[in-house]
Structure 1
Amino acid sequence: MTSEYIPFISSKKDKKRFDQLFSDSVCARIRLNLESEITKLSEDNIPLWIDSTFDGFSFFQDTKKSGGFEDYLTEREKYDKKGGAFEPRRNDFIDLMAKIDSQRDKEIKSADLFCNNEFRQKPNQTKVNIYVSRLLDYCYQYEPECISVPQIPVSEGTELNKINNSLVKASIAWRDNSHFNGQLILPLIFTKRAHMKGKVEWRPKVDKAIQHCRNLNLQGMWVVNTDIEDWKGSTAQTKAFSSLVEMHQYIREHLPENVKKIAGPYWGLNLVLWSRNLIDYPAMNLGTSHKYYLPGSLSKSGNTRMPLIPLRRLAVVSAELREWLASTIKKLDESDENRKIFSELEKKFDFFLSRSENAQYEIAKFQKQWFKSIQSKKRESRAITLFQDLSEAYALGSRLEDLPADEKPGKKPGAIAEHLMLQCLS
């Protein structure tokens, strides 16, 4: 049975976990810079959604010099030496864009266009068309079923509207003049929790995206907020959770039925949205971070985390957590199935501690099992099934001692389950 999730492959390690666990997915979304992995997936006949990583331009702006990223990086280096704020330097995103720049029409450099605030405000459609054609042709060589429309993540104002509109027009022009018979997926990427304050903040962005999908016959819309961290248990984020759900209700009501609706990756909110039939496909990371990181950004390695499966949450692998597990196991009845699960996790503790990849595999395996347990139910029963599942996790957590200090602000064992549970039926 094909699973309705869409794994997001952002690294070679992700590709390995995909092969181990997720080859039954409806498709795999993979970044264009992972060309060797794309080739392997194609050889295995995995349906592909290729993302050009264009949203990485969110980190690069306000340069007017020609010469592409080389001059841009030189400018940023001078700025940093004067005590300026952090700016990303050379990475896979820049290397990929430099490769795209070298394909043809070499006088048109991506940095000159999309790192330039003047050009963003007054885009030259001909130049945008040339660049987008070059970029999407590069994606198309791998014969994917889906390709992301190039877009810069939305801002709180309207300053990116013109360049994003221009990019959509260029993508449609490319589709109409190419042999691509697949699907174009429109990204709508919010980068601040403030975008989720309420309808006033998100509706103008959503309405514009819906308008593009309706008027230009786009086949899919993918929505994510990179600032939502639903695995942390912070009560400060719960209002944003409710607003996110409301936004997806609005999208479901106003977006044509035949347009694919995709959301995430998150830890559990993607599952909530999917179980409520507000989206068609939940996006999933593969055991690593549980949010979406923009290409070109530096995701901190952080602490190794492991799944506390009965609680539907994660926790930092530490000596304090080992003690917490031992104490919890003693308190639970021997007949309690949760005791057995916690005991199995305790046995694997050194295995997780020895290599973060071991813990990441365990997280990814649990995510798949969790999803499959809900997918096995009838569509109309999935939301109540997930609610009951999270309610049991919350009830269990309410009987247990607080987790170690590493879990602040979500030290209460049932905190994550509680916050997700409240979004299931509201």
Structure 2
Amino acid sequence: MVLDEAVVARNIRHLTDSVPADLLELLVTAGFWTPRHALSHALRPASLRERSDVLYHRVPHPLPTDPQAAAYAVGAPVTELEQDGLQAEALAGLAAHLPAHLLGEALVAATAISDESCRAWVLTALAPHLPPDLLDEALTAASTMTRGNARVDALTAVLPQLPPEQRATLTADALAAAADLQPDDQTRALTFLAPHLPPELLGEALAVASRLAADHLRVEVWAALIPHLQGDHQAAVLADASATATGLGAGTSRTRAVTRLAAHLPFEALAEAVTAAGSVDDLWERADLLADLIPHLPTQLRSTAAHVALAAAVAVPRENWRVRALARIAQVAPEAHLARILAELLAVTRPEWRAQALVWIAPHLPADLLGEALTATSDITDVHRRAEAWAALAAHLTAAGRTGEPQQTR
């Protein structure tokens, strides 16, 4: 049956005062809230909260050792940095849905965010949607950042929107700035810049990459640059990257490095990578490695890798990390595996973890499973979590046949 206004109101009426930052986009996409209503929450960080506090942070990062993630898990007070992160998440999610007359407000809010990494996150999301009269303001906000990696991220996002002559100069400046960063930040910046580099700067980017001491970081940058190289040059860099990845020896480092190159590897190398990932002892790591590989695999390997990943995920002993692993696989697995994933998630003991799982997998469920998941929200006892799960699932229904009414909430 159709999700009429009464059904919508009944199920999301609890989402009024404190709204999860990453749910705003779904509420707008589904037509439950107007962009103005959602933006009003994004402009008031005090009205936002992190939905996934009990499961650490968003799939698939950060890792369990992240101290900020652990702070979320024990309900630590929200710091200024965390509040910046919530506002950035909300604004970034809404960026593609804001009409022109609201983009200026969002940009002003973005430039007022204290933390530069969070500010860059929002600028990166807003940049492709900004009208020409706001580009100078966005460029100024990006150019005046003092933290190198944030500055490069923001500049990279603004670059494609600029006139060609201005773009060339700023691309060179961003590449020079990337060369001065710490190795991890440098790798990330070069990876972001790769699609925007003109042919004359690709050699310089490769030179910067060659100076990275860590083999796995060099492979990551090479993998980003290879699609933009031509002929023999591309073949030579791919050969170097493959040899370096293979030279990392057995274990997760080698498998992750090979995964970076998966789009360019022959079937035999991909089959070997699946076997290596499936042999990793740690169950969470095994599932995560295979999930990284699946999008790059040919059809005949994809289902096998998903089956092995799913077997590892359901065996993860800690229930909250089992939820994360299953949700991670749902993002990439062939549709035939989604019913099993949903069944495993609906069997999760803790209702708040079950609610979070439904939020995470909502974008990946076909119509029949969305209906089943919607009905299952009635078993979630916490009214706010139930409303969040219901809204996230319902947001992915459309008038063209993907509709259905869940049981009435209790």
Class of the TM-score when normalised by the shorter of the 2 chains:
0.3 to 0.5
More strand per residue: 1 or 2? 1
Q: What TM-score do the two structures reach when normalised by structure 1?
A: 0.32
Q: What TM-score do the two structures reach when normalised by structure 2?
A: 0.33
